[in-house]
Amino acid sequence: MTGRESVSIARRVGLDARITVTVMPTGDKETRMSATARYVLSRTMLIRNTQNSSQTMSHRIDLASNQAGTFPGTVACRPSGVLEADVLSAFAP
């Protein structure tokens, strides 16, 4: 026996994003708009070995528009700002 075994990993990733749009008057006919998001990124993995035993692992990252988050290990996630920009573009004249 070599101390190694084959495993299969089934992974499911989910994203929940909520946007807050803030509108502030800056003058008589001008306003400033901004959008911030809260993200919840979840990852569930089902790991099964060749003896058919399995283990489920679940992880969750909560982050905001300007934050990064990391799953256990080396998987880092950072919002790109595209969602916030898309929301603001809906209000463009």
Is-contact 46 9, C-beta < 8 A?
A: yes
Whole-number pLDDT of residue 2:
59
pLDDT digits (tens, 9 = 90+) for 64-81: 998 999 988 878 899 999
For residue 41, how many other CB atoms are within 10 A of its CB? 19
Locate the domains of the chain by residue range.
Answer: 7-83
Q: ∠ CA 46-48-50 to the nearest 5 degrees? A: 170
Residue 6 has pLDDT above 90, yes or no: no
Whole-number pLDDT of residue 1:
42
In angstroms, the CA 38 to CA 47 distance is 29
Is residue 84 very low, low, confident or very high in pLDDT (cuts 50, 70, 90)?
Answer: very high
pLDDT digits (tens, 9 = 90+) for 18-72: 999 999 999 888 899 999 999 999 999 999 988 888 999 999 999 999 899 998 8
The enclosing H or E element of 42 equals strand 31-49
